[in-house]
Homo-oligomer: A and B are copies of this chain.
Amino acid sequence: MKLLVVGSVAFDAIETPFGKTDKILGGAATYIGITSSVLGVKSGIVSVVGGDFPQEHLDMFTDRGVNIEGIEIVKDGKTFFWSGKYHNDLNTRDTLATEVNVLENFDPKIPDSMQDAEILLLGNLHPGVQLSVLEKMHNRPKLVILDTMNFWMDTAWDILMDMIAKTDVITINDEEARQLSGEYSLVKAAKKIHEMGPKYVIIKKGEHGALLFHNNKIFAIPALPLEDVFDPTGAGDTFAGGFAAYLAKKGKIDFETMKSALIVASAMASFTVEKFGTERIQEVNESDMFGRLRQFKELTTFDVELQ
């Protein structure tokens, strides 16, 4: 299946207890595109960058087989820029700067070459922009995956509800699931979110793993315990990318395939945090991924009498 990704292509400047970077390549769609290419999946990105965005980054996407016809270049505009500093535990961070720039008036344009995408991954953007993408698709994709965050719950509730109603799979973190549903228990939260529209609810818990809910079924995975987390930036985007790309690769959309997709998602995200930005997942190949999947199998497999 073909995967269409709508999301930011951006610059980040990151500071962690281990060091800091200048402006480096970032953005949700960037992580998702690279992750898809590691899995050998054809993806296309719809996004917008400024005239300051280097050709080498665009070439990098093309070299990886990522369709960039949908990346609009606003010659006299500047690329979205985010800067942040992580605290010592790497679980919390301060945003130092957010320059929305060309993303402010982002009007997504879907190239004809991507109109036949069967999976649509809507990266974390204003829900109004996400909705407009869905309206611009000539046919509704077989699967619509939505990434969103608490900011849109605070500032754009009604339109977010419209978007969620048209979503098949939603990915949010545990605190956001609680905010969205008004329920503390994640089991209850997922039930309420099901009622809002999504048939599949993925709750990300960072270092504690993730949960997948579908009807009355639940699947849980731990995160791979890591000796060092170097830079968490992009882990959530890599996770979403690994999940969507695996479904596209298998050409199947069901609970069982999504369980495997979650493992692949978590394995890919475990690479991202090992170096700054996209550095590590740019080095990774499919064989590295299989190595990490074997670690997951070892981490989680047990044998116990069931009667």
In the assembled complex, how far is the CB of residue A212 from the closest CB belonging to chain B, in whole angstroms? 10
**In the complex the two chains form, is B89's CB within 8 Å of A184's CB?**
yes
Choose one: B185, B260, B304, B307; the contact of A304 (CB below 8 Å).
Answer: B260
Number of A residues with CB within 8 Å of any CB on chain B: 42
Best-surrounded residue of A89, A186, A264, A306 (most CB of chain B within 10 A): A306
**In the complex the two chains form, is A297's CB within 8 Å of B306's CB?**
yes
**A288-304: contact bitstring with B at CB < 8 Å (1 yes, 0 no)?**
00100110111110111
Q: How many copies does the complex hold?
A: 2
A261-307 with Cβ < 8 A to chain B: 262-264, 290, 293-294, 296-300, 302-307
**In the complex the two chains form, is A225's CB within 8 Å of B186's CB?**
yes
A173-202 with Cβ < 8 A to chain B: 184-188
**In the complex the two chains form, is B226's CB within 8 Å of A187's CB?**
yes
In the assembled complex, how far is the CB of residue A50 from the closest CB belonging to chain B, in whole angstroms? 38
Residue of B nearest to A190 (CB): B225
In the assembled complex, how far is the CB of residue A173 from the closest CB belonging to chain B, in whole angstroms? 13
Residue of B nearest to A17 (CB): B184
Residue of B nearest to A286 (CB): B307
- Say whether A259 faces chain B, with CB atoms less than 8 Å apart: yes
A197-234 with Cβ < 8 A to chain B: 205, 208-209, 211, 217-222, 225-229
Given A187-B226, A222-B220, A226-B185: A263 and B302 interface contact (C-beta under 8 Å): yes
- Say whether A88 faces chain B, with CB atoms less than 8 Å apart: yes
What is the bound-complex CA distance between A243 and B30, given in angstroms? 45
**In the complex the two chains form, is A219's CB within 8 Å of B299's CB?**
yes
**In the complex the two chains form, is A299's CB within 8 Å of B259's CB?**
no
What is the bound-complex CA distance between A205 and B227, given in angstroms? 17
- Say whether A104 faces chain B, with CB atoms less than 8 Å apart: no
Choose one: B222, B262, B294; the contact of A306 (CB below 8 Å).
Answer: B294
**In the complex the two chains form, is A290's CB within 8 Å of B307's CB?**
yes
In the assembled complex, how far is the CB of residue A290 from the closest CB belonging to chain B, in whole angstroms? 5
In the assembled complex, how far is the CB of residue A217 from the closest CB belonging to chain B, in whole angstroms? 8
What is the bound-complex CA distance between A290 and B298, given in angstroms? 23
**In the complex the two chains form, is A184's CB within 8 Å of B294's CB?**
no
Chain B residues with CB under 8 A of A217: 298
- Say whether A256 faces chain B, with CB atoms less than 8 Å apart: yes
What is the bound-complex CA distance between A299 and B226, given in angstroms? 23
Residue of B nearest to A209 (CB): B222
A205-B208, A220-B300, A297-B306 known, 9 other contacts, Cβ within 8 Å: A185-B227, A185-B229, A187-B225, A188-B228, A209-B209, A209-B220, A221-B222, A260-B304, A300-B300
A–B complex contacts, Cβ < 8 Å, 10 sampled: A185-B226, A187-B226, A208-B208, A211-B225, A220-B300, A221-B302, A259-B303, A263-B304, A293-B304, A296-B304
